[in-house]
Amino acid sequence: QVQLVESGGGSVQAGGSLRLSCAASGYTYRRYCMGWFRQAPGKEREGVAAIYTGGGTTEYADSVKGRFTISQDNPKNTLYLQMNSLKPEDTAMYYCAALSPMGYGGSWYEARLWTDFGYWGQGTQVTVSS
């Protein structure tokens, strides 16, 4: 099993910044890839960013490229999402997720892949006001 606990959400004005953290525990070998997803009311959960734990390769949704940065601190078993130049449309519940090696070859941005082969945190709310 893998346990994930997010923190760092909050309310900020447009143009501001937040850093989300995700503390991971459990079987390290089950964490082939780590990611951040978000879900706004009435919308589907969407992939924001992902990082492959072995080589550090990162992926980003087009909507956040150049504004968000995903990173990991392996000794601390912590995943981060630095969010700059926030926009009201970034408002959502943000979820940390871990994908097991069984998800190899799948599309990282598809939440269903992580549901089938991974683990989810409880989420942290991010609200951006205009």
∠ CA 110-111-113 to the nearest 5 degrees? 75
Report how far residue 18's alpha carbon sits from residue 10's, in angstroms, rounded to the nearest whole number: 8
pLDDT, tens digit (0-9, with 9 covering 90-100), for 13-32: 999 999 999 999 987 767 89
Q: What pLDDT is attached to residue 110?
A: 95
What is the SS3 string spanning 16-76? CCEEEEEEEEECHHHCCEEEEEEECCCCCCEEEEEEECCCCCEEECCCCCCCEEEEEEHHH
Q: What pLDDT is attached to residue 31?
A: 82
Helical residues (DSSP H) of 7-122, grouped into ranges: 111-117
When pLDDT is cut at 50, 70 and 90, the band that residue 35 belongs to is: very high
Shortest CA distance to 66 belongs to which of 50, 84, 41, 48? 84
Report how far residue 24's alpha carbon sits from residue 5's, in angstroms, rounded to the nearest whole number: 7
Averaged pLDDT score across all residues of the chain: 95
Q: Is residue 123 scored above 90 in pLDDT? A: yes
Neighbours of 86 (CB within 10 A): 22
Place of tokens 């989420």: 123
**DSSP code of 46?**
E
